Amino acid sequence: MAAAPGRRRPAALLLLLWAALCLGAALAVDRSNFKTCEQSGFCRRQRGLQPGHSPYRALLESLQLGPDAARLQLVNEATKVPLLLELWGLQGNMSRIRIKELNPLRPRFEVPDVLVAEPPVERLAVTGRDEGSLELSLGPSGHRLLVTEKPFRMDLLQGRELLCSVNARGLLFFEHLRRRRDSFSDKVSSSVGSLWDKIKTLFHRDTPREPPAEEGAAAEGQEEAAAGTEDAGNQSEKPTEATAEAAEEPGSWEETFKTHTDTKPNGPASVGLDFSLPGFEHVYGIPEHAESLRLRTTEGGDPYRLYNLDVFQYELYNPMALYGSVPLLLAHSARRTLGIFWLNAAETWVDISSNTAGKTLFGKLLDYMQGGGETPQTDVRWMSESGIVDVFLLLGPAPAAVTGQYAALTGTQALPPLFALGYHQSRWNYNDEEDVAAVERGFEEHAVPCDVLWLDIEHADGKRYFTWDPSKFPRPRAMLERLAAKKRKMVSIVDPHIKVDSGYRVHNELRSRGFYVKTKDGSDYEGWCWPGSAAYPDFTNPEMRAWWASMFAYDQYEGSTETLFTWNDMNEPSVFSGPEVTMHKDAVHHGGWEHRDLHNLYGLYVQMATAEGQIQRSGGQRRPFVLSRAFFAGSQRYGAVWTGDNTAEWEHLKISIPMCLSFGLAGLSFCGADVGGFFKNPEAELLVRWYQAGAFQPFFRAHAHLDTARREPWLFGEENAALIRAAVRQRYALLPYWYTAFYHSHRHGVPVMRPLWMEYPEDAATFAIDDQYMIDRALLVHPVTEQGARGVQVYLPGKGEVWYDVTSHQKHHAPQTLYVPVTISSVPVFQRGGTVVPRQERVRRSTECMRGDPFTLYVALSPQGTAEGDLFLDDGQSFDYETKARYLHRQFTFAGNTLTASSADPRGSFDTPAWLERVVILGAGKPAAVVLRPADGPETHLDFHHEAETSVLTLRKPGSPIGADWAIVLR
């Protein structure tokens, strides 16, 4: 839920606050509540640096080549402040660049808990050196790094091909930590210190002087320099008094936005770096933005912002920050794909420029014909408020290699419990236990499958999380048990703002243990949120996270059962009374770190601790399900995310596709959008179309604002109820395919929902398409997102390939753009020739009810008469697939008129009553006979039906156990 008007608050103060904040925001976001780059001091300072004037020089003679890394100094020739550059070649076709202060005044924040492990390294070697440059080999992959001394830059090559240049535009920006010089006492101290230096110089003129660390450097930093860069440390000069005392821009030490002042006790500390990508015109990623899949250039406007915020009714096609942030950008061309992962959790802005921006296709063609024009190039500039430069270059070269490399660093998508892939029904709020029971009965009476009912904040006792309203939900355990008897689950909301109330056990424990975030003065940080005055647990503290996890135990979360799961909302964190509706940047976390250093990590930590709590309550046996609104790199390890508080408008339906595609490219495969739109009331056509689209997105949940009309699937008349029922049933029939796709994502880091160019990387026609997409590698989906549409244009990629309409089974040759007529019941979906898709077509009320049901295989033949696919099957809820190898992974292959079933992974075994009910072969001729040959037993003849008009062959009841090996031969 956004911070929105409409809820009754216990105190008049909240109403006054929100009257001011939301006045005039009934139709769209109030932009004045959120900073632009010009209003963000560090972004303004960095953008003020013009290309081509880099003050940095690489001290090549300081190079230290260790067994794992190369280290050398950089020096800012204006300030004389030395930096330490560290370089790694990483196994798996990656490299890492880290830049930090050589002798910092105090430690700078380095992001923890995002990398799953320190990545294994390759041995580096110096392969060339001349005056002004040196060349490093980054391992056996053939990548070389050319380091240029002045101005400092780096060029990454493979063979003779330039892949990426670093600081080629001279935009490296590193604000060293310093003491504030504008107070009277500081000026006196400075003058005395300067005089004392002159006196000492008189007595030590003949003594060789060791260059000291930057004035005021912490002893810890000096020890690091001595240990790791002793020789390199002697290459730089001490900053001169003139440069140390240079006038600083207003806002460097204190910054005011609207009524809030950020005290900035550590002063300016931002970092930035530019990357040039020759040969690339298309870049993607850096979610979350309500933006097209292909990112636009930012020249003439604001950069893309990464700063987790609670944005009320967000605008579309806008670089403004939203609820989550993943600082991963992918660049793609027909030649290769690469990624840039900027590991920094502070507020970050990303500028994108291109030398082909604004040129029409005709203009580019004219350049080519005239022999002119330059090589396409995209330049990307990262700017963060604090921390260090820590960046990974993911060198592909294939799209799946890049997503796999990112997954090797930050982890893969957690394998969700099977029920979580079913349909979820939510609203703010179901009123009480009777309302929940009535909604559940509605799904039964109207034969709409549903796995989960959701409860928003009104279910708790006065917004006190981990409790139940005693009048509305007096018997929560009985309610959960009634749902469980129907094989359904429930999700309740648990937000990370805790009501300040001395009668509330959760608050008292957090306060007594010192687990709240602190103000800069050391008191518990408090702000305003749904309960009124609220304090915020410090999720960066491992002890606090362990305590939070313990609260999900059945004896702590009273009324909870194993079928109750969790929704973490408002975890950006949302602070109604804070700057930009979030926490003050000078709030203090565990270890003394400012909130500014780690803001974008907060939501990840909330989801992490909540997921761990669900795992612990089951004794480590069962997989969790946690939905989170805020996220960061690595959040995929802990559950699902969604696109936040959208609106019941056609444009919001459209934008859900590129938003989820961007999430998937950044590792977050378990993504969806609120079906029907959170704000406003959808007309029937929009609601139906949204169900049809949502059924083909990974996370499938309907949700709505408190002030909207009720919109359960059966409330729009029988005709529309039938259309929604059909869409939901189509989702359930495909659950075996969805679950297998999530297993692929979990094992290999590939997105479940992916852009066409991931499967067809050389087809330039796919590079900007974001109204259709692939689910895994076999299904192409083009939802209808235009009001009153009578047809859609579908691009079918793949030279020499064929596609089959999953409804009519008509075959289409590729590549082509196909006009597909649609009615209100149409959902254009195509199966790729050469694939096998498993289904369960006996759709029941929930996923658990379908466990053990038989399977149907849809075999879509390629022009060569071949096909392959797989099926992953386990208990759908436990970690036994991982800890006890209790799973089946089956491989299906069609070649030479024979369909065979075999084990794709013989390490796994799993007992299931499920069997093969039917095989549908698309693109097949009529055989004389069909024979089943089991691995152990006599062969039998199968009944079949052939539809000559569509070339569809249906084999009836082979009857083989789904885990058995067999062959079906067409004679």
Residue partners of 812: CB distance under 8 A and separation at least 6: 796, 802, 803, 804, 805, 818, 830
Residue 510: beta bridge partners? none
Token pair for 471: 């009048």
Alpha helices, H only, 234-380:
241-244, 361-369
CA separation for the pair 746, 871 (Å, rounded):
14
Cis peptide before 429 (omega within 30 of 0): yes
Q: Choose the catalytic residue: 569, 771, 805, 875.
A: 569
CA separation for the pair 820, 950 (Å, rounded):
17
Token pair for 680: 């406003």
In one-letter notation, the amino acid at residue 519 is: T
Alpha helices, H only, 343-419:
361-369, 399-410
DSSP structure string for 148-177: ETTTTEEEEEETTEEEEEESTTS--EE---
Residue partners of 203: CB distance under 8 A and separation at least 6: none
Residue 902: beta bridge partners? 891
Q: Which residue has the tokens 């062969």?
A: 939
CA distances from 611 to 410, 455, 554, 614, 876 (A): 17, 18, 15, 5, 17
Token pair for 413: 């998508």
DSSP structure string for 31-54: GGGS--TTTSHHHHHHHTSPTT--
3-state secondary structure of 725: helix
**Residues shown for the chain:** 971
Q: In 3D, which of 771, 490, 560, 790 has the Cα closest to residue 654?
A: 771
Token pair for 685: 């056509």
Phi, psi angle pair for 326, to nearest 5° = -130, 110
Residue partners of 189: CB distance under 8 A and separation at least 6: none
Q: Which residues of 558-595 are buried (b: 16+ CB within 10 A; e: fewer)?
A: ebbbebbbbbbbbbbbbbbbbbbbbbbbbbbbbeebbb
CA separation for the pair 318, 316 (Å, rounded):
5
In one-letter notation, the amino acid at residue 228 is: G
Residue partners of 183: CB distance under 8 A and separation at least 6: none
Q: Choose the catalytic residue: 302, 645, 771, 875.
A: 645
Alpha helices, H only, 387-432:
399-410
Q: Are 508 and 546 in contact (CB under 8 A)?
A: no
Token pair for 452: 């989960």
CA separation for the pair 693, 712 (Å, rounded):
17
Count CB neighbours of 191 within 10 A.
10
3-state secondary structure of 193: helix
Read off the DSSP letter of residue 524: B
Is residue 645 annotated as a catalytic residue, yes or no? yes
Check residue 404 and give left, alpha or beta (phi > 0: left; psi -120 to 50: alpha). alpha
Q: What is the set of active-site residues? A: 569, 645
